[in-house]
């Protein structure tokens, strides 16, 4: 049985701290993922999984056949949501994943547009 760098030798579980997985980062600077943001892996041919950290490769594997929410990825991998968001941000930067907005987010009207419509109706 090979010893993983992510588990302790006694079989007691993962000993790598979450900040080590993210390189000390506590948030991703460019992407605002929510708990229900859906992640989908790009095609397997486009990705070089050998160069990825184990957690990033696992995210790609989980999202290969269907869209998976950030919260679900975190639960399946037993990682904090903040760590998954950072890893997904890195994967998005390298174009290895696609992000689907939460349902209804794109259909919400702009408040300024509603105010202009109301003003125009009042003028009638």
At 41-87, the pLDDT tens digits run 987 555 555 678 888 999 999 999 899 999 999 999 888 888 899 89
CB contact at 8 A, 23 and 78:
no
Task: Check whether 4 has a pLDDT greater than 50.
Answer: no
**Six-digit token string for 114:** 């509603």
Mean pLDDT of 11-21: 59
What per-residue confidence (pLDDT) applies to 5?
Answer: 44
CA–CA–CA angle 58, 16, 76 (5° rounding): 35
Task: Check whether 100 has a pLDDT greater than 80.
Answer: yes
CB contact at 8 A, 56 and 87:
yes
CB contact at 8 A, 68 and 39:
yes
* Residue 11 pLDDT grade (very low, low, confident, very high; cuts 50, 70, 90): low
CA–CA–CA angle 85, 86, 91 (5° rounding): 95
């Amino acid at each position: 049985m090979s010893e993983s760098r992510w588990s302790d030798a006694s079989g007691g579980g993962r000993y790598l701290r979450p900040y080590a997985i993210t390189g000390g980062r506590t948030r991703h600077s460019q992407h605002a993922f929510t708990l229900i943001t859906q992640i989908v892996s790009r095609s397997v041919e486009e990705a070089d999984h050998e160069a990825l950290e184990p957690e990033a490769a696992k995210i790609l594997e989980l999202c290969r056949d269907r869209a998976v929410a950030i919260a679900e990825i975190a639960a399946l991998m037993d990682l904090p949501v903040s760590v998954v968001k950072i890893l997904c941000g890195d994967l998005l930067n390298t174009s290895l994943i696609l992000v689907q907005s939460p349902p209804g987010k794109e259909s919400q009207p702009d408040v300024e547009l509603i105010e202009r419509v109301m003003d125009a109706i009042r003028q009638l």
